[in-house]
Structure 1
Amino acid sequence: MLTSELLDLNTELVEKARSLVPRLRERAKETEQFRRIPEATIKELKESGLFYILRSKRFGGYQTNMRTYTDIVTEISGGCGSTGWVVALCCLRELMISESFSEKTHQEIYDSSDDIVFAGVFEPRKIKVKKVEGGYIIEEGYWPFCSGSLHASWGYFGMPIVDEEGNIIDQGLITLPMSQVEIADDWHVMGLRGTGSNSINMKDVFIPEHRVVSFTDAINGKFQSTHFRDIPLYNTALFPALAMSIGVPGLGMAKAALELFMEKLPNRPAANLSTQYLSDAAITHHQAAEAALKIETAAMHFYQVADNLDSSAASGEYMSKFDRVKALANIGYAVQACKEAIDILVLATGSAYVGNGNPMQRIARDFAALYTHRTVSPITSKENFGRVLCGLTSSTKNI
């Protein structure tokens, strides 16, 4: 349950996010055209503190919770899917850094600059690592789809942990300044164009030992952040929180699609129907109601996960494997409900949808890019939950 202090902070931050929506919509064309978030938006996100909602108070953040995070990401995504996606992932990376790494690493990061934003990718497509004295050398590495890469100062990446003979002994997480990586200009896509999700290349980069942690330990709640153990936020289950960062922007997009449809509906003529206006047609009533109820269903699932993450973190007990698997099923189910709602609204919009300047098309394209992310796959997440319900183990190990 939120304290009155946290409720007041939630209200303040959500209102800040909501106030940005008109400007985000005005900049949507620019965001897509230049394949990055406009600097004016980045400046507003920093000045409003919305990039720092999951940062610890010790290092200048708001140290909120997943409920507040869900509210804020939903609002921003309703203004611009790409911006909501970047805020969702950059803030979540901050949580992951805060949970996973030691006090020494945190001090190194936050002492390095007053302007810290995180981006990162867990799974490398290609990597060659060598164990050396005091750490590791990434001789070469390639990570695609690093959302927010153009605005980040520190990175968070997955890396195999190897021994002196080169044998892989664990999966690791690393953090390093983005000045040590090469950002490719290769984000040419149909949806979420403004996220700047470019590929990252590394060559002969040294990663000191204290900036390498076990991903296996982290997903099971064995965090190196011993100095944060008394802060509930930093006991949040890592993998479900990551899945939330990918799924929740879809809720904002779906809400925006419904809002846009209802705004355009009055006085729209009805073609090939028995009514003069579309708003008087029974088919429109069914479509609007069905879309609205699916969006409401999605919201209930997302907020259930957020509240369960927060209550589990506050209890001092790390979320159980069963509850983590169920959380991913809830998220996948919510994403599917959002997709179905948007599909209904696209059909109800009619042929105007095909125009490149139509905002409904941008929303649908952005959501389509989100929907393909395997972390929030409705099919995989339901299968895994069903396996666990039937007494089997999940087929996805990283939960």
Structure 2
Amino acid sequence: MTGSETESTAVRDAVRTIVPRLRDNGTQAEEQRWIPDENIALLEKAGVFRVGVPKRFGGIEASLAEQFAIVTEISRGCASTGWVAAAWMEGAWVASLYPDEVQADIYASGAVRISGGLAPTAMFTEVEDGFLLNGSWGFNTGCRGADWNFVAGVRELPDGEMEPLYALVPMDKFEIADDWHVSAAAGTGSFTTSATDVHVPRQYVASAEELVTGTTGGRSNVGATGRNYGLITYVAALSIAVYVGAAQGAYDTFVERLPGKPIAYTNWTDAREHPLVQLKVAAAANAITAAQALAAGFVKRLQQRADAGEHPSVEDSVTVRGQGGFALRLLKDAVEDLHDVSSASSLVRSLPFQRFYRDLEGLSRHGMMTPNTNLELHGRLLLGLDPDTLFL
């Protein structure tokens, strides 16, 4: 076992011990529309915020499979906490695409939390020593607890064309709106952040093309580092771990409550004895297992590319999106099967099952993750057509 594997296993084991506490805190996270400080402290103590940081800065530099396993465990406790942790972990990896001097600044403490707004909803205006940033980003997951914000915008070139750019900016440069009022994933704290004439030094800004293709200059970690996964592809792949964990959490909490539970207005005194419940539980368990297998396949594929010093191909990226979309469909079906045979008491807000159910439904609406869009994308590739998107 390598050093990173040993450390990653220790983090995963530490996270596993706090899963019950994350579940207990679910109601508080939902009510305050942001995960409790205790959750953040528990994740920090477990070493989660070192997972995506390069080893040369004191981090773990975990493989994609190791990151996936850790996010899955967190999400078994709380899907909102898992979504935030995944976003911060993804942000920590994104910083490794910037020049070495930027990395040294951002990774200075050996652990970091970076939120992101990937939609280019702002303007960069070039000035002598960098850019002025103006705009806002909705759905900025984890912004209230982040150290940095990874945000997108455009600048106008001399010929009138618009060039997409991404910047890393300290979170204290942004205003955070109190506008996250939703029926699912409420604890993610995905508030809107805004910037007004925020100065960003030139080295903290990179073109979208450079970041997506992994060709930014001024950095030593290019090539066969084993961690060059491709920006959009990496985010899509790791995010699936949240859905896997949430579905497993729903399954666990459903089964835990079942022994001795009668079926109302019938003669069934133990729901476990009913054939329909048995069928639904088996279907859910196998759907989750199938989704895990799909995810393990595309995670392995991306890691093999990275270990070979190769950037993911278009086929790799589209396959991740398509198989991830189908895995998400399986996970939704699994939890829906359990929901079909749950009782009215499962609607009680203090119980984790109903929260897993709602969070999974809500998070499946994410533009990059929604199954229909991703299956269409994969279908185009399988039929020999152009993917017809730049977001790969």
Shared fold per TM-score greater than 0.5: yes
- 1:131·1:162 contact (CA, 8 Å) conserved in 2? no
Report sequence identity in percent: 29
Residues 225, 22 of structure 1: alpha-carbon distance in 2 compared, 3 angstrom cutoff: farther
**Which of 112, 132, 136 is equivalent to 2:131?**
136
Alignment-derived partner of residue 248 in structure 1: 241
1:146 partner SS: coil
Deviation at residue 168 of structure 1 after TM alignment:
3.6
**Which of 71, 94, 102 is equivalent to 2:99?**
102
- 1:142·1:199 contact (CA, 8 Å) conserved in 2? yes
2:340 partner SS: helix
Deviation at residue 275 of structure 1 after TM alignment:
4.1
- Runs of 5+ consecutive residues of structure 1 not aligned to the other structure: none
1:301 partner SS: helix
TM-superposition CA deviations, 1:40-93 (whole Å, max 9, x none): 221222222111211101222100111001100000000111111111110011
The CA distance in 2 between the partners of 1:216 and 1:371, in whole Å, is: 27
2:349 partner SS: coil
The CA distance in 1 between the partners of 2:138 and 2:382, in whole Å, is: 34
Deviation at residue 330 of structure 1 after TM alignment:
1.0
Deviation at residue 122 of structure 1 after TM alignment:
0.8
- 2:156·2:162 contact (CA, 8 Å) conserved in 1? yes
Query: Aligned runs of 1:1-399 on 2, under 5 Å?
Result: 3-98=1-96, 100-111=97-108, 116-125=112-121, 127-138=122-133, 140-163=134-157, 167-224=160-217, 226-229=219-222, 232-271=225-264, 275-399=268-392
- Runs of 5+ consecutive residues of structure 2 not aligned to the other structure: none
1:158 partner SS: strand
Residues 391, 114 of structure 1: alpha-carbon distance in 2 compared, 3 angstrom cutoff: closer
Deviation at residue 153 of structure 1 after TM alignment:
1.2
The CA distance in 1 between the partners of 2:147 and 2:161, in whole Å, is: 29
Residues 72, 115 of structure 1: alpha-carbon distance in 2 compared, 3 angstrom cutoff: closer
Deviation at residue 284 of structure 1 after TM alignment:
0.9
TM-superposition CA deviations, 1:192-225 (whole Å, max 9, x none): 1111111011111112211111112222232336
Residue identity in the other structure for 2:34 = R
Deviation at residue 114 of structure 1 after TM alignment:
6.8
Deviation at residue 226 of structure 1 after TM alignment:
2.8
With normalisation by structure 1, the TM-score equals 0.93
The CA distance in 1 between the partners of 2:22 and 2:88, in whole Å, is: 18
Residue identity in the other structure for 1:134 = D
